[in-house]
C-alpha cells in the first residue's frame, strides 16, 4: 500500500468521479454519492477530499463554460488521471486478493 | 429552477465564504453552493435552503479551504505592509536629516517620558510595601490655635492605648517616637561605641510594619522592656554579624540616662522605599520611664500613634467619630484626632486649615503633565516635518493614486511609517534610559531599576502606539488627501488650512517652551531664596553636635571649656533641633488670654549663652545671664508671642507655664526655628542648665578645620571611646529642602529637553523651507539683495510665530508659577523681568536655531542653485 494509500472516502470520491466521467463537478458528485450510497455528503468534506486528491495527482480539473445558472459561476469538472486510475485498480486488486484469501467457511453464517 | 430567481442565498454567509475561501477555489465552490441552494429552495423551500446553505458554508470553513495568512500574494495586506515598510526605510535613508531630527526628538521625548514614569512609580511606591498597608493608618491631630487649624503628627502618649481600648474599628494602636527627636544615640559594646539613629516603639510595632527579621521573632522582640532590635548593618558594625549580635548586651545612652539592653532581634536594613530611617528600636516603655510622670497627660504630645483598622472600616465615619475623642476626655483640649493612610505620609504631607492640601503629589502631577508636554512637542515635530515634506513625496502619492490606491491604504502607509519611527525611537529611548539611569537615580535619590515587567511593557506599548498614532494621524490624513492630478503636475497647492495647522503647532510648541523656561527660572529662584533667606540669625559656621557620654555628667564645665577653645566664638545647649522643629505646648497662659482659644507655643529650652551663640537679636529686655541666679523662672519670648498676647510692655510681666509663674525678661526678634514651609509661631526660651540634647557652637570663619579638631579633642577627653559626630547647621538646613532641590534640578533638565526638542523641530522646518525657497533666494541675490535682508526675510516668518507663542505663553507662565509659589510661607515676589527674560531667552534660542541655516543660505552662491533645473 505504502504512501499511495487511499482512504475510504477518498476511494469513493475517486470512483464517483470515474462514474460521472466528464460530468463530475461538485454538486453532481454529491448527488451521485447520495443517491448511490445513501449517505449525506457536505460540500466541505467533499471539496477537501477533491483538492487533496488533486494534490496527490489522482484527479485533474478544468473549468467549464460560464452559464447563467448558479450565480454565473463556472463549474469545475474533475477527471481521474492515469495515476488515479492506477491507484483505483490497485485498490481493487488488493480487495480482490483479500476476498480470495478468505476461507469459504468464514463467510458462511 | 429559474423560477426561484427572487430567492437569494443569505448574503452575509456568502460574503463570509468569499472572505475566507482561497481565491483559486472560490469560484467553483461558490457555484456549487449556489446550485445546491437553488435546488433546495425549489424542493424544500427558502427557509430550509438558507439554513442548509449556512451549514454548508460553516462546514467549508476548514484549514484546507481557508486563505493562507502569510507569504501568499493572494493576501493583499502582507504585501502592502512589506511594500510600505520598504518605502519607509527608503524614505528614511533618502531624507536622512529629517529622519535623524525625528529620531532625536522622539527618542529623547520618549526617554524623558519613561524617566518620569519610573520616577512617579518610585514615588508612588513609598511606604506601600507593608503587608497591612491597606489597614495601616497614622493618627494626626488637628490643633485649633488662634482661629487657625494646624495639623501635626505628634500625639499624646495616652492616645494609643485609649484608642485601642475604646474604638472598636481600631484593631491595634501603637505609639512610637519619630527618629528626629533624638538624632544619633551612642550604643556601646564592651570594646566599641557607635552612634546610630533609633526610636522607641510599642511591642506590636513589627506586627504592623513589615520589616523582615534575620534573627529573632518580630512579634515578641520588643515585648521585654530590656530588649533592643537592631538593623543588620548595625549588628555587623557592632558584633561582626547578625548571628553574633543576637542575645548580646548593648549599652545605650541618652543624655544622662543609660541602660543595658539585650539584642532580641535583627532586622534587614530598611529598603530605599520607606520614609523610616531608624537603625534600632527600643521598647516604648523605656521612654515612658525617662519622661517625668507629670509630662504624661492629654496636653502633652510625646509620641506618634499608628493604628491598624479592622477590615471593612469606613474611614470617614471613623474620623467623624474620632473628632471629639480627646475633647470628651478633657474639656479644655483643642485637638481633634483623625486617621490618614500611613503611606500617604510621603506624598500627601501638606495640610491647610485641617484639610489635605497636597504635598509631593503635586510634583508628581506636575511632572506627569510635563512628560505629556514633552511627548507632544516631539510628536508635533514629527507632524510638521512629515507634512512639510509632503511636496517631496507628492509624486509618489500621485502615482499610487493614479494606479488605484485608495485613500485609506495611503493613510495606513503613513501611519505605519509613524509607528515604525516610534518603535525605533522607543528602542533608542530605552537605551538612553539604561545609560542615564545612574545619574537619574543620583538626582532623585531613588534606586530605580528598569525591570521589564508587565506594567512597564504595557506602558511601552501604550506610549509607542499613542505616540505613533498621534504623530502619524495628521500626516496620514493630509498626505492621503492630495489630488493625484495636481501632484503629478508638480503643483502642490498648499491650502490655507494646512499651513495654519503647521504654524499653530509651532506656536503651541513654543508656548510650552516659554512656560517651561519661566517655570525653571521661578523654581530655581525660589529654591535659592529659601536657602539664602534671612532666617533671623546667621546660619553659617554653626556646628551642632550631641550631648552624649560623660559630657552630660559635667555639662556646664564642658560648655565653659568649649567656649575657651580658640576659634570658638560662643557655645550653648538646647533641647531643640533648631532645623526640624521641636516641642510645643499649649499649657502657656497669660493675663487677658481668651480662654476659648488655645495657642501653641514653641518650646526652646536652652542654656546660658545659647541665644548669643545662635545670634538672635534681642529686641527688648535682656538675655539669660549668670549674673542673675534666678533666671530659671524667667522666659524670653519672640515678637510673634508678644503680638498674640497683645502686650504693650511685656518685660517684667508674669505668665503661667506648666502651672508655674514665670516672668518675661526679654523679647527676641522673630526668627525661623522650623521649616520654611511653615509660618513663624509664638515661642519662648526657657533656661535649663542641667542638660540639653544638643550643643550648638559658633566658630570663626576661615579656620574651621583646626577649630573642629580642637573641639573633637575636648570631646574625646570626655568620651574617649566615641567618635565625634557633628553637622553644620547650614548643611542640615539644606537637607530639609532636598525634595525642592531635586525638583528644581528635574525641572531644569526637563525644561531644557523640551526646548531642545522644540528647536529641533524648528531647525528641521527651517531647513525644509529654505530648501524650497532656494531658487527664490538665489534670484533675490542675483537681483542685488544682500545677505542681511535675506536673513531677515527668512527669520521674520518664524520670529512672528515665536513672538505669538511668547504672548500666549507668558500669562500662562505667570499663573502657573504663582500657583506653585502659593505653597510656600516664604516666597519670592514674581518680578516682571522673570517673564521678559523667559520670553527673550525663547526668542533668542529660536533665532539662533533658525539663523544657523538662514545665515548659511544667505552666503550661498546663487549660481549653484540656479544652474540646474
pLDDT tens digit sequence for B149-191:
878 888 888 888 888 888 888 888 888 888 877 777 888 888 7
Residue B53 has pLDDT above 70, yes or no: yes
**Beta strands B351-352 and B355-356, pairing class:** antiparallel
Q: In sequence order, which ranges of B96-204 are alpha helices (DSSP H)?
A: 96-124, 159-166
Residues of B in contact with A76 (CB under 8 A): 27-28, 31
**Beta strands B257-267 and B227-231, pairing class:** parallel
With CB atoms and an 8 Å threshold, state whether A75 touches B38. no
pLDDT, one tens digit per residue, over A20-75 is 888 888 888 998 888 888 888 888 888 889 988 888 889 998 888 877 777 788 88
Instruction: Let me know whether B446 and B479 are in one domain.
Output: yes
B659 within domain boundaries: yes
| Minimal C-alpha gap between A79 and chain B (Å) | 15
Q: In sequence order, which ranges of B615-722 are alpha helices (DSSP H)?
A: 639-645, 704-718
Of all residues in chain B, the percent with pLDDT exceeding 90 is 2
pLDDT band at B532 (very low <50, low <70, confident <90, very high): low
With CB atoms and an 8 Å threshold, state whether B59 touches A44. yes
Q: What is the mean predicted confidence (pLDDT) over B509-534?
A: 79
This model of the complex carries an ipTM of 0.85
Residue of B686, B588, B580, B594 whose CA lies nearest to B631: B686
- Ranking B601-605, B787-791, B832-836 by mean pLDDT, the lowest is B601-605
Range of the domain at B637: 549-721
Of all residues in chain B, the percent with pLDDT exceeding 70 is 93
Which CATH entry fits the domain spanning A8-107: 3.40.50.300, 1.10.357.10, 2.40.160.100, 1.10.10.10? 1.10.10.10
B332 vs B337, more confident: B337
Does residue A62 sit at the B interface (CB-CB below 8 Å)?
no
Label residue B39 left, alpha or beta by phi (over 0 means left) and psi (-120 to 50 means alpha): alpha
B480 within domain boundaries: yes
Residues of B in contact with A42 (CB under 8 A): 55-56, 59-60
B537 within domain boundaries: no
With CB atoms and an 8 Å threshold, state whether B34 touches A73. yes
- Ranking B118-122, B322-326, B480-484, B505-509 by mean pLDDT, the lowest is B480-484
Residues of B in contact with A52 (CB under 8 A): 64
The residue among B721, B752, B771 that closes a domain is B721
Q: What is the mean predicted confidence (pLDDT) over B403-425?
A: 85
The pLDDT score that the predictor gives to residue B1 is 43
The pLDDT score that the predictor gives to residue A1 is 42
Does residue A44 sit at the B interface (CB-CB below 8 Å)?
yes
Q: Where are the beta strands (DSSP E) in chain A?
A: 59-63, 76-80
Instruction: Let me know whether B560 and B480 are in one domain.
Output: no
Instruction: Let me know whether B712 and B781 are in one domain.
Output: no
Instruction: Let me know whether B380 and B428 are in one domain.
Output: yes
Q: In sequence order, which ranges of B551-700 are alpha helices (DSSP H)?
A: 555-564, 610-614, 639-645
The pLDDT score that the predictor gives to residue B538 is 74
pLDDT band at B765 (very low <50, low <70, confident <90, very high): confident
The pLDDT score that the predictor gives to residue B582 is 62
The pLDDT score that the predictor gives to residue B256 is 65
Instruction: Let me know whether B466 and B564 are in one domain.
Output: no
Residue B264 has pLDDT above 70, yes or no: yes
Residue of A11, A81, A86 whose CA lies nearest to A49: A11
The residues of B whose Cβ lies within 8 A of any Cβ of A are 1-2, 9, 25, 27-36, 38-39, 55-56, 58-62, 64-65
Q: What is the mean predicted confidence (pLDDT) over B11-40?
A: 85
| Minimal C-alpha gap between A51 and chain B (Å) | 8
Mean pLDDT of chain B: 81
Residue of B425, B440, B426, B347 whose CA lies nearest to B115: B440
pLDDT band at B75 (very low <50, low <70, confident <90, very high): low
Residues of B in contact with A55 (CB under 8 A): none
Task: Fill in the DSSP letter of residue B580.
Answer: S
Q: How many domains does chain B have?
A: 4
With CB atoms and an 8 Å threshold, state whether B60 touches A26. no
B539 within domain boundaries: no
Half-sphere exposure of residue B28, counting CA atoms within 13 Å on the CB side?
Answer: 22
Pick from B538-552, B610-624, B775-789 the range whose average pLDDT is largest: B775-789
The pLDDT score that the predictor gives to residue B858 is 79
* Cα angle, residue B85 at apex, residues B466 and B763 outer, rounded to 5°: 60
> Residue B860 is placed in which grid cell?
550661498
Query: What would you report as the CA-atom Rg of chain B, rounded to the nearest whole angstrom?
Result: 38
Q: What is the mean predicted confidence (pLDDT) over B127-131?
A: 84
In angstroms, what CA-CA distances link B766 with B494, B675, B788? 17, 50, 17
Residues of B in contact with A65 (CB under 8 A): none
Work out how many CB contacts closer than 8 A connect A with B. Answer: 71
Q: Taking CA atoms, what residue in B is nearest to A74?
A: B28
Residue B428 has pLDDT above 90, yes or no: yes
Distance CA B339, CA B507 (A): 48
Task: Fill in the DSSP letter of residue B240.
Answer: S
Q: What is the mean predicted confidence (pLDDT) over B141-150?
A: 77
Instruction: Select the residue from B28, B52, B63 to test the A interface by mutation, using most A Cβ atoms within 10 A.
Output: B28
CB B557 within 8 A of CB B763: no
Going from N- to C-terminal start, the domains of chain A cover 8-107
With CB atoms and an 8 Å threshold, state whether B65 touches A47. yes
Residues of B in contact with A40 (CB under 8 A): none
> Residue B451 is placed in which grid cell?
525591570
CB A61 within 8 A of CB A79: yes
Distance CA B538, CA B392 (A): 67
Distance CA B215, CA B196 (A): 19
Distance CA B673, CA B683 (A): 9
| Minimal C-alpha gap between A47 and chain B (Å) | 8
Instruction: Let me know whether B746 and B605 are in one domain.
Output: no
pLDDT band at B657 (very low <50, low <70, confident <90, very high): confident
Does residue A67 sit at the B interface (CB-CB below 8 Å)?
no
The pLDDT score that the predictor gives to residue B431 is 93
The pLDDT score that the predictor gives to residue B681 is 78
pLDDT, one tens digit per residue, over B300-331 is 778 888 988 888 888 888 888 888 888 887 87
Query: What would you report as the CA-atom Rg of chain A, rounded to the nearest whole angstrom?
Result: 16
Residues of B in contact with A26 (CB under 8 A): 28-29, 31-32, 35
Q: What is the mean predicted confidence (pLDDT) over B421-450?
A: 87
The residue among B694, B721, B748 that closes a domain is B721
Residue B104 has pLDDT above 80, yes or no: yes
Residue B3 has pLDDT above 50, yes or no: no
Does residue A69 sit at the B interface (CB-CB below 8 Å)?
yes
Distance CA B638, CA B58 (A): 91
With CB atoms and an 8 Å threshold, state whether A26 touches B31. yes
B88 within domain boundaries: no
With CB atoms and an 8 Å threshold, state whether B30 touches A71. yes
pLDDT, one tens digit per residue, over B335-352 is 888 888 888 888 887 777
Place of cell 501638606: B350
| Minimal C-alpha gap between A63 and chain B (Å) | 8
Residue B70 has pLDDT above 60, yes or no: no
pLDDT band at B606 (very low <50, low <70, confident <90, very high): confident
Number of H helices, E strands in chain A: 4, 2
Distance CA B673, CA B579 (A): 6
Does residue A42 sit at the B interface (CB-CB below 8 Å)?
yes
CB atoms within 10 A of CB B399: 13
Instruction: Select the residue from B7, B35, B36, B56 to test the A interface by mutation, using most A Cβ atoms within 10 A.
Output: B35
The pLDDT score that the predictor gives to residue B869 is 56
Q: Where are the beta strands (DSSP E) in B269-317?
A: 280-283, 304-309
With CB atoms and an 8 Å threshold, state whether A70 touches B64. no
pLDDT band at A16 (very low <50, low <70, confident <90, very high): very high
With CB atoms and an 8 Å threshold, state whether B31 touches A71. yes
Instruction: Let me know whether B164 and B312 are in one domain.
Output: yes
Distance CA B33, CA B14 (A): 9
Amino acid at each position: 500500500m505504502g504512501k499511495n494509500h487511499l482512504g475510504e472516502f477518498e476511494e469513493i470520491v475517486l470512483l464517483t468521479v470515474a462514474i460521472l466521467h466528464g460530468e463530475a463537478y461538485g454538486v453532481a458528485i454529491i448527488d451521485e454519492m447520495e443517491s448511490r450510497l445513501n449517505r449525506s455528503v457536505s460540500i466541505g468534506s467533499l471539496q477537501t477530499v477533491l483538492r487533496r486528491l488533486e494534490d496527490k495527482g489522482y484527479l485533474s480539473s478544468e473549468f467549464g463554460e460560464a452559464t447563467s445558472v448558479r450565480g454565473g459561476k463556472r463549474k469545475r469538472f474533475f477527471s481521474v488521471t492515469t495515476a488515479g486510475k492506477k491507484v483505483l485498480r490497485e485498490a481493487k486488486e488488493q480487495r480482490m486478493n483479500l476476498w480470495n484469501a478468505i476461507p469459504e467457511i468464514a463467510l458462511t453464517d | 429552477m429559474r423560477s426561484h430567481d427572487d430567492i437569494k442565498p443569505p448574503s452575509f454567509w456568502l460574503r463570509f465564504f468569499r472572505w475566507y475561501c482561497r481565491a483559486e477555489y472560490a469560484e467553483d465552490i461558490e457555484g456549487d453552493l449556489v446550485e445546491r441552494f437553488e435546488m433546495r429552495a425549489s424542493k424544500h423551500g427558502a427557509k430550509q435552503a438558507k439554513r442548509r446553505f449556512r451549514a454548508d458554508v460553516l462546514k467549508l470553513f476548514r484549514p484546507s479551504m481557508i486563505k493562507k495568512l502569510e507569504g501568499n500574494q493572494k493576501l493583499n495586506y502582507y504585501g502592502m505592509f512589506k511594500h510600505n515598510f520598504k518605502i519607509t526605510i527608503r524614505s528614511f535613508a533618502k531624507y536622512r536629516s529629517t529622519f535623524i531630527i525625528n529620531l532625536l526628538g522622539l527618542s529623547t521625548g520618549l526617554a524623558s517620558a519613561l524617566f518620569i514614569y519610573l520616577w512617579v512609580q518610585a514615588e508612588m511606591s513609598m511606604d506601600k510595601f507593608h503587608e497591612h498597608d491597606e489597614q495601616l493608618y497614622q493618627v494626626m491631630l488637628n490643633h485649633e490655635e488662634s482661629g487657625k487649624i494646624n495639623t501635626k503628627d505628634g500625639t499624646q502618649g495616652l492616645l494609643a492605648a485609649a484608642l485601642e481600648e475604646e474604638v472598636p474599628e481600631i484593631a491595634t494602636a501603637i505609639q512610637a517616637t519619630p527618629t528626629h527627636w533624638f538624632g544619633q544615640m551612642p550604643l556601646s559594646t564592651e570594646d566599641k561605641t557607635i552612634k546610630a539613629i533609633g526610636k522607641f516603639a510599642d511591642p506590636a510595632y513589627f506586627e504592623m510594619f513589615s520589616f523582615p527579621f534575620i534573627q529573632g521573632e518580630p512579634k515578641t522582640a520588643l515585648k521585654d522592656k530590656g530588649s533592643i532590635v537592631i538593623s543588620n548593618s548595625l549588628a555587623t558594625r557592632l558584633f561582626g554579624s547578625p548571628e553574633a549580635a543576637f542575645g548580646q548586651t548593648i549599652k545605650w545612652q541618652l543624655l544622662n540616662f543609660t541602660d543595658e539592653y539585650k539584642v532580641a532581634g535583627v532586622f534587614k536594613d530598611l529598603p530605599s522605599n520607606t520614609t523610616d530611617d531608624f537603625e534600632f528600636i527600643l521598647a516604648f516603655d523605656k521612654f515612658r520611664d525617662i519622661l517625668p510622670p507629670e509630662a504624661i497627660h492629654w496636653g502633652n504630645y510625646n509620641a506618634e500613634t499608628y493604628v491598624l483598622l479592622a477590615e471593612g472600616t469606613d474611614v470617614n465615619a471613623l474620623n467623624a467619630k474620632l473628632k471629639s475623642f480627646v475633647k470628651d476626655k478633657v474639656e479644655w483640649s483643642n485637638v481633634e484626632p483623625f486617621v490618614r493612610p500611613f503611606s500617604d505620609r510621603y506624598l500627601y504631607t501638606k495640610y491647610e486649615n485641617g484639610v489635605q492640601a497636597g504635598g509631593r503629589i503635586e510634583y508628581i502631577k506636575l511632572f506627569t503633565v510635563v512628560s505629556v508636554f514633552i511627548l507632544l512637542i516631539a510628536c508635533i515635530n514629527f507632524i510638521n516635518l512629515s507634512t512639510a515634506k509632503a511636496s517631496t513625496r507628492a509624486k509618489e502619492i500621485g502615482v499610487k493614486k493614479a494606479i488605484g490606491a485608495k485613500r485609506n491604504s495611503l493613510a495606513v502607509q503613513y501611519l505605519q511609517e509613524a509607528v515604525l519611527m516610534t518603535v525605533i525611537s522607543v528602542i533608542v529611548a530605552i537605551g538612553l534610559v539604561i545609560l542615564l539611569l545612574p545619574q537619574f537615580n543620583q538626582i532623585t535619590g531613588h534606586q530605580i531599576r528598569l525591570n521589564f515587567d508587565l506594567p512597564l511593557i504595557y506602558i511601552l506599548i501604550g506610549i509607542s502606539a499613542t505616540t505613533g498614532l498621534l504623530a502619524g494621524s495628521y500626516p496620514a490624513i493630509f498626505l492621503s488627501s492630495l489630488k493625484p492630478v495636481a501632484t503629478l503636475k508638480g503643483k502642490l497647492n498648499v491650502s490655507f488650512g494646512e499651513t495654519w495647522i503647521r504654524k499653530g503647532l509651532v506656536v503651541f510648541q513654543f508656548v510650552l517652551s516659554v512656560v517651561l523656561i519661566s517655570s525653571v527660572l521661578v523654581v530655581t529662584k525660589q529654591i535659592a531664596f529659601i536657602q539664602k533667606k534671612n532666617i533671623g540669625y546667621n546660619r553659617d559656621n554653626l556646628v551642632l553636635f550631641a550631648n552624649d557620654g560623660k559630657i552630660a555628667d559635667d555639662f556646664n564645665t564642658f560648655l565653659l571649656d568649649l567656649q575657651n577653645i580658640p576659634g570658638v566664638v560662643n557655645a550653648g545647649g538646647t533641647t531643640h533641633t533648631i532645623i526640624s522643629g521641636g516641642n510645643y505646648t499649649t499649657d502657656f497662659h497669660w493675663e487677658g488670654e481668651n480662654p476659648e482659644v488655645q495657642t501653641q507655643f514653641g518650646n526652646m529650652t536652652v542654656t546660658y549663652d545659647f541665644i548669643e551663640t545662635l545670634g538672635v537679636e534681642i529686641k527688648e529686655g535682656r538675655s539669660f545671664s549668670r549674673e542673675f541666679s534666678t533666671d530659671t523662672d524667667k522666659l524670653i519670648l519672640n515678637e510673634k508671642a508678644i503680638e498674640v498676647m497683645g502686650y504693650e510692655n511685656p518685660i517684667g510681666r508674669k505668665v503661667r507655664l506648666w502651672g508655674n509663674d514665670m516672668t518675661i525678661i526679654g523679647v527676641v526678634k522673630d526668627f525661623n526655628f522650623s521649616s520654611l514651609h511653615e509660618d513663624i509661631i509664638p515661642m519662648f526660651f526657657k533656661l535649663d542648665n542641667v542638660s540639653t540634647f544638643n550643643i550648638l557652637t559658633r566658630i570663626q570663619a576661615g579656620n574651621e578645620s583646626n577649630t573642629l579638631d580642637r573641639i573633637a579633642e575636648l570631646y574625646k577627653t570626655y568620651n574617649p571611646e566615641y567618635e565625634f559626630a557633628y553637622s553644620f547647621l547650614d548643611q542640615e538646613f539644606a537637607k530639609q529642602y532636598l525634595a525642592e532641590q531635586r525638583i528644581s534640578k528635574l525641572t531644569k533638565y526637563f525644561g531644557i529637553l523640551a526646548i531642545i526638542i522644540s528647536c529641533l523641530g524648528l531647525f528641521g522646518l527651517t531647513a525644509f523651507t529654505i530648501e524650497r525657497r532656494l531658487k527664490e533666494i538665489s534670484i533675490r541675490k542675483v537681483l542685488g539683495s544682500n545677505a542681511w535682508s535675506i536673513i531677515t526675510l527668512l527669520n521674520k516668518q518664524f520670529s512672528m510665530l515665536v513672538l505669538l507663542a511668547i504672548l500666549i505663553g507668558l500669562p500662562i507662565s505667570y499663573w502657573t508659577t504663582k500657583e506653585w509659589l502659593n505653597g510656600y510661607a516664604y516666597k519670592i515676589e514674581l518680578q516682571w523681568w522673570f517673564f521678559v527674560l523667559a520670553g527673550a531667552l525663547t526668542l533668542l534660542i529660536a533665532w539662533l536655531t533658525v539663523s544657523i541655516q538662514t545665515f548659511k543660505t544667505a552666503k550661498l552662491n546663487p549660481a549653484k542653485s540656479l544652474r540646474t533645473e
